Structure 1
Amino acid sequence: MGVELLTTKEVEHFVQLNRVTIYRLIRDAGFPALKIGGQWRFPRHEVERWLAEHGRTAAELPAPALPAAPIPSLELNPGELLGSLEIVSLLKAFSTTVELSILVVNMQGEILVDCPSCRHPFCQFVHDATPARDVCFAARSLQRDPQQIHTTQPLVDCISGLQYLQTPVWIDRHQIGYIVMGPLVMENGNPDLVRQSLEDFARQHGADSQALLEQFHLVKRFSNEQVRILTDLLSRVISTMLEIVYRRADAVQRLNKIAQLASDV
């Protein structure tokens, strides 16, 4: 017999708690949950056992203290949601540690969060070049080629042979975009192809090809195993980001409740 998995909406009804409280229980109280395809799923049998261990049954649980409405985070646009000081500081720290540029883009490839102070020297050089400004990053590639947004492959081409990692960002059941990190070159890549691509890029945008090649030598080479590890680390960064988002959503909900109570005085 297979394991019955509940959706977030189903578990809200089952335990009579709003989703913000459920996410807090996942984080702080070991509430049973699995992340499948970027979405939370809840094994019904384990949820029932968790309730029993805490002296409750679904029928005995009190009604949620907060109204069962969409979490406040979804009332904010993604840029506001992810642009908090905590998240930007987290991304900067990770970017500095791995020595790669990092940003968050929406589903149209538009930049939501950037960390210019931690930009890789190669990216900074191309960013500062005129008129090649703002064409270097994978976000621009996503704008030019929307199909890349929907790929399940973690590596995205910017210039032929020069790549970036992309990992999807989900909030609740909504994919709002990707974290994009790079640049990197695969160890099994063709150096002649990269060199030719850079020269073509420089010629197309009026940049100094020799200076561009010199900056390119600062780009790290990665093995498939290193990319796998980096992708895993990036997923952990996203998990931490979501904890911040849900904590912020909880705070907003509480403030809204206080404001509502104050208006009734």
Structure 2
Amino acid sequence: MVVKREEIQKLFREAADKGIAVPHFNHSDFWDMSFIVEAAEEQGAPVIIACLPKVIDAIGIEKLGTVAKVVMEKSSIPIVYHLDHCHSVDTCLKAVDHGYNSVMIDAADLPLEENIKAVKKVVDYAHAKGVHVEAEIGQIKSAGEEGYTVESELAALEDAKRLAEETGVDALAVSIGSEHGFYQHTPKLDYALLEKIHGVIRVPLVLHGGSGIPREMVRKAIQKGIRKVNVGTQIRYTYIKTLGETIQNMGAGTHTADIMEAVKIPVKETLKEWIVTCRGEANNGWK
């Protein structure tokens, strides 16, 4: 089913009431998009399917939005299609016009005033069309990025509060020590900072860089106020690794559909593990 901003906000309110999080999975093409939908429907769990601007450049924003709209309409559960980590205001506005029901304007690398200005422009346009908006405060970098230290990028509490209040944004990604990509060291999350932000920010908080964070750490972050958990690298890695192994085992002459039927098994297992992590082992969530 296609959901608008109000229904997405309701999902987050339900997640807050139950002490769980909405799982967010990045996809790379239409095959892994279908894997995500299958896993979500089998688990009875609403999910956010997201693409990066890189995927838009490769496939096209109109094609992605059109296919996602069909997927959402045919799904028995709420599916959100989200543009992730977009640095361009114009691309965010195009996504709104092409069927995305959620967009993330990532202007966290700009000075606070410019970040607020960019987010406000997207919020004003998107909200008028019933589209949910996420922003970021405190830069969430990639693992191993030169010059990056966790301590230097932690979200500033007052900056987060100001951005949320002045823009009317619907969700906020906060830098509390997580990193994009597989970790080259033991992940360390600043739970004290998370609790402080959660205490003063009234919009749902988002944990980026879920891949590689131990499940118990993710669960603790959810308990401390995280309402959406983003996972991308682990999904893509499982997909590509299994694809390569399957082609080698079955042969390049095998039909693509038969190869993908085998590939989706481990990918869906990974997806389901994350769905369980977000809703809790005791299934204190959907279904």
TM-score, with length taken from structure 2: 0.28
Pick the structure with greater CA Rg: 1
- Which structure carries more relative contact order (alpha carbon 8 Å, separation 6+)? 2
TM-score, with length taken from structure 1: 0.29
